[in-house]
């Protein structure tokens, strides 16, 4: 229904002009500096390549998705994370996208959490495509990366809609050692901050897609207190990306983006 009302229908009426305008909008590279005393000094200056919300489908053809991954790969991040909604309605044909994310030569690998759209079609198929490609999938679990004798503790939760459900998942997978949390829904942040998680990375909101000029937080994602950019709760940090894809073919003052975060211990 959403696809017909906001995407396919209007595009047909405009004889393809809406899609053309949408595809003419370039995906931008955003560089973000984040610092917090909760971040382990051994990983000072870690560069995290963050990509989210492809919504592979009508509004995100595979070539555009692969170009976004290439843009991220060209920044040579130390680790790649994708915070979900890789697909929109149908997982068919998504293999090259998972393979491209896995093939970015980041020394600490590529990690993924699922979004609500990944679960709409078939979470099992999305999961196996990702893991077959070599991506580490974090579904309500955590892992530890050992690098040059130091440990980075990373947790990831699958899709949860409400803050209460997000918190329950965070309470299960995070502890005082967790440095990095991946959650499609930024509503996980409050619980993450209670566990002193240094950095949470999220997507889902698309930055509202329509925002006031120079006020990225004043946008259409009205159900989200944290919808675009960096947020603090005491020493915990959250970054919510506006994502690379779209629910409907319009973005105003809210460009699609891939992000590279440079994380420092304050
Ligand atoms: Fe989402």
Distance of CA 83 to the CA centre of its chain: 3
The partner residues of 150 in beta bridges, in order of sequence, read 147
Of 247, 236, 228, 265, the closest CA to residue 30 belongs to: 228
Given this model, what pLDDT does residue 6 score?
67
36 neighbors 236 (Cβ within 8 angstroms): yes
Tell how far the Cα of 246 is from the centroid of ligand 1, in angstroms. Answer: 10
Tell how far the Cα of 261 is from the centroid of ligand 1, in angstroms. Answer: 21
Q: Which two tokens stand for residue 175?
A: 């502890």
The SS3 of residue 112 is: strand
Distance CA 97, CA 104 (A): 11
DSSP single-letter state for residue 6: I
Given this model, what pLDDT does residue 9 score?
66
Tell how far the Cα of 162 is from the centroid of ligand 1, in angstroms. Answer: 13
Tell how far the Cα of 110 is from the centroid of ligand 1, in angstroms. Answer: 19
Tell how far the Cα of 249 is from the centroid of ligand 1, in angstroms. Answer: 16
Q: Which two tokens stand for residue 213?
A: 């000029």
Distance CA 124, CA 83 (A): 17
Tell how far the Cα of 221 is from the centroid of ligand 1, in angstroms. Answer: 11
Tell how far the Cα of 114 is from the centroid of ligand 1, in angstroms. Answer: 9
DSSP 51-100: E----BBTTB-HHHHHHHHHHHHTT--SEEEE-S--BSS--TT-HHHHHH
pTM assigned to the model: 0.95
Tell how far the Cα of 64 is from the centroid of ligand 1, in angstroms. Answer: 19
The SS3 of residue 119 is: helix
Tell how far the Cα of 116 is from the centroid of ligand 1, in angstroms. Answer: 5
| pLDDT tens across the length of the chain (266 residues) | 666 666 766 666 666 778 888 999 999 999 999 999 999 999 999 999 999 999 999 999 999 999 999 999 999 999 999 999 999 989 999 999 999 999 999 999 999 999 999 998 889 999 999 999 999 999 999 999 998 899 999 999 999 999 999 999 999 999 999 999 999 999 999 999 999 999 999 999 999 999 999 999 999 999 999 999 999 999 999 999 999 999 999 999 999 999 999 999 98
210 neighbors 251 (Cβ within 8 angstroms): yes
Tell how far the Cα of 41 is from the centroid of ligand 1, in angstroms. Answer: 32
Tell how far the Cα of 13 is from the centroid of ligand 1, in angstroms. Answer: 27
Element (H, E) at 237: strand 236-240
């Amino acid at each position: 229904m959403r696809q017909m009302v906001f995407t396919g229908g209007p595009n047909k009426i405009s004889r393809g002009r809406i899609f053309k305008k949408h595809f003419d909008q370039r995906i931008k590279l955003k560089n973000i500096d984040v610092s917090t005393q909760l971040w382990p000094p051994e990983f000072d200056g870690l560069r995290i390549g963050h990509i989210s919300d492809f919504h592979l489908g009508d509004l995100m053809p595979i070539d555009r998705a692969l170009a976004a991954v290439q843009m991220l790969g060209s920044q040579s991040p130390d680790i790649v994370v994708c915070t979900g909604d890789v697909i929109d309605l149908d997982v068919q044909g998504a293999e090259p996208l998972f393979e491209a994310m896995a093939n970015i030569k980041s020394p600490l690998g590529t990690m993924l959490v699922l979004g609500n759209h990944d679960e709409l079609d078939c979470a099992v198929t999305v999961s196996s495509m990702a893991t077959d490609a070599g991506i580490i999938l974090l579904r309500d679990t955590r892992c530890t990366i050992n690098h040059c004798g130091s440990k980075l503790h990373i947790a990831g939760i699958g899709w949860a809609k409400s803050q209460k459900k997000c918190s329950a998942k965070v309470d299960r997978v995070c502890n005082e050692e967790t440095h990095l949390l991946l959650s499609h829904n930024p509503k996980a942040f409050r619980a993450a901050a209670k566990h002193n998680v240094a950095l949470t990375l999220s997507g889902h909101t698309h930055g509202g897609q329509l925002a006031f000029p120079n006020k990225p937080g004043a946008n259409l994602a009205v159900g989200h207190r944290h919808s675009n950019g960096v947020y603090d709760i005491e020493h915990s940090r959250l970054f919510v990306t506006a994502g690379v894809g779209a629910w409907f073919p319009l973005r105003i003052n809210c460009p699609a983006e891939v992000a590279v975060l440079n994380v420092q211990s304050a």
